[in-house]
Amino acid sequence: MTTDTTTKDATAGASAPGEVVLDARGVTMRFGGLTAVRNVDFTVKSGEIVGLIGPNGAGKTTFFNCLTGLYIPTEGEVRYKGNVLPPKSYKVTAAGIARTFQNIRLFANMTVLENVLVGRHTRTKEGLWSALLRGPGFHKAEAASRERAMELLEFVGLAGKADHLARNLPYGEQRKLEIARALASEPGLLLLDEPTAGMNPQETRATEELVFAIRDKGIAVLVIEHDMRFIFNLCDRVAVLVQGEKLVEGDSATVQGDERVIAAYLGEPFEDAPGDEEVAEVEAAEAQAETTTDAAPGKENDR
Ligand SMILES: Nc1ncnc2c1ncn2[C@@H]1O[C@H](COP(=O)(O)OP(=O)(O)O)[C@@H](O)[C@H]1O
Ligand SMILES: [Mg+2]
């Protein structure tokens, strides 16, 4: 009841740029003897697109689940806009955090439009009784909800398929529909769990544009993805999770250049790196090439 909002002022989002919207401190999640997430501090500011990467099993999805009320962290605390998260996922959604799932979760036998309408339930004022009695208030609210849902379908490029059954959409469009449904709760923070999994390069590019457009609407985005090009193109900041711990965090260049990240993905750090002997050999060959070239070094190549 307290979370009811009309369609007009529905954005649980809009906040000053640079303000911390998500603040996770010391988050640990254990399953029996397994620690899937270990003492992770993590923030997202408004206006930011933040990436979360890491090898399979690193704890990325588990961490997302801790940010959305699906799991209650064993230790630590998560705040959204200063308030500790309520321990239920629908309450977290109402508070302003929306998400998509690594494994698409749509209502397969509902239409595209209906799927988005379902996503609006935390934002519509009309409750159960109103819906059952179908009074004038209900019809008005329903019309407004439909209008907003169609707007969102337009935004993700699915307006033309509003009446199609969700299950008949190609995979890439199902992912877009999940995003539209998440946006229907008018979030201030959107969490995307592997949004381009199974997409072709064109669809991935389109998703990139879509995420930028979402950010431009004032919604902060936290995205898990394996596609490094996508991540490094998109994100203002990237955090790397390895075996449940945050290993590195920084801008794309920092993270890409970090040996520990390379090691986490590729195995032992210097396995394939040239040894001293090889380096000496290459240097000798280069010196040889320089002395046998007519042009003085640097002359031809000066720019
Ligand atoms: N509900 C659960 N119960 C027990 N173990 C889990 C559960 N969810 C995830 N795990 C374990 O936690 C670890 C991290 O998994 P996950 O968060 O899915 O990793 P990622 O998303 O980075 O691939 C894995 O070892 C996984 O098996
Ligand atoms: Mg995962």
Q: What is the 3-state secondary structure (H, E, C) of the chain?
A: CCCCCCCCCCCCCCCCCCCEEEEEEEEEEEECCEEEEEEEEEEEECCCEEEEECCCCCCHHHHHHHHCCCCCCCEEEEEECCEECCCCHHHHHHHCEEECCCCCCCCCCCEHHHHHHHHCCCCCCCCHHHHHHCCHHHHHHHHHHHHHHHHHHHHHCCHHHCCCEHHHCCHHHHHHHHHHHHHCCCCCEEEEECCCCCCCHHHHHHHHHHHHHHHHCCCEEEEECCCHHHHHHHCCEEEEEECCEEEEEECHHHHHHCHHHHHHHHCCCCCCCCCHHHHHHHHHHHHHHHHHCCCCCCCCCCC
Instruction: Answer whether residue 159 is part of any domain.
Output: yes
Question: 251-292: per-residue pLDDT in tens?
Answer: 998 998 888 888 887 654 444 444 556 666 667 777 776 665
pTM of the model: 0.81
User: Of all protein residues, whose CA lies closest to atom 3 belonging to ligand 1?
Assistant: 31
Distance from Cα 62 to the centre of ligand 2, integer Å? 7
| Residue 302 belongs to some domain of the structure | no
**Smallest Cα–Cα separation from 52: which of 213, 192, 150?**
192
pLDDT computed for residue 282 by the predictor: 65
Residue 36 Cα, ligand 1 centroid: separation in angstroms? 6
Nearest residue (CA) to ligand 1, atom 7: 31
State both tokens at 226: 């394996």
Residue 296 belongs to some domain of the structure = no
Identify whether 150 is part of a domain. yes
Q: How far does residue 141's CA lie from ligand 2's centre (Å)? A: 37
pLDDT of residue 142: 80
- The yes-or-no verdict on residue 71 having pLDDT over 80 is yes
Q: Is residue 6 part of a domain?
A: no
**Number of domains present in the structure of the chain:** 1
Which tens digit of pLDDT belongs to each residue from 190-232?
999 999 998 899 999 999 999 999 999 999 999 999 998 999 9
Residue minimizing CA distance to atom 9 of ligand 1: 62
Res 188 pLDDT > 90: yes
Say which residue, 294 or 27, is predicted with more confidence.
Answer: 27
Ligand 1, atom 18, lies closest to the CA of 61
Predicted confidence (pLDDT) per residue in 113-152, tens digit: 999 998 887 766 655 566 566 667 777 778 888 999 999 9
Mean pLDDT to the nearest integer, 69-95: 93
The ligand 1 site (C-beta within 6 Å) comprises 31, 34, 36, 54, 56-62
What residue owns the CA closest to ligand 1's atom 12? 36
5 within a domain of the structure (yes/no): no
Instruction: Among the bound ligands, name the one nearest to the CA of residue 38.
Output: 1
Instruction: For residue 242, list its beta bridge partners.
Output: 245
Residue 42 scores a pLDDT above 60: yes
CA of 209 to the centre of ligand 1 (A): 30
Q: What is the mean pLDDT of the chain?
A: 84
Residue 149: inside a domain: yes
**What is the 193 CA–ligand 2 centroid distance (Å)?**
7
Predicted pLDDT at 124:
66
What are residue 250's DSSP bridge partners? Answer: 238
Expressed as residue numbers, the domain containing 243 is: 20-278
In a domain, 172, yes or no: yes
Q: Angle formed by the axes of helices 171-183 and 201-216, to 10°?
A: 10
Question: CATH no. for residue 226?
Answer: 3.40.50.300
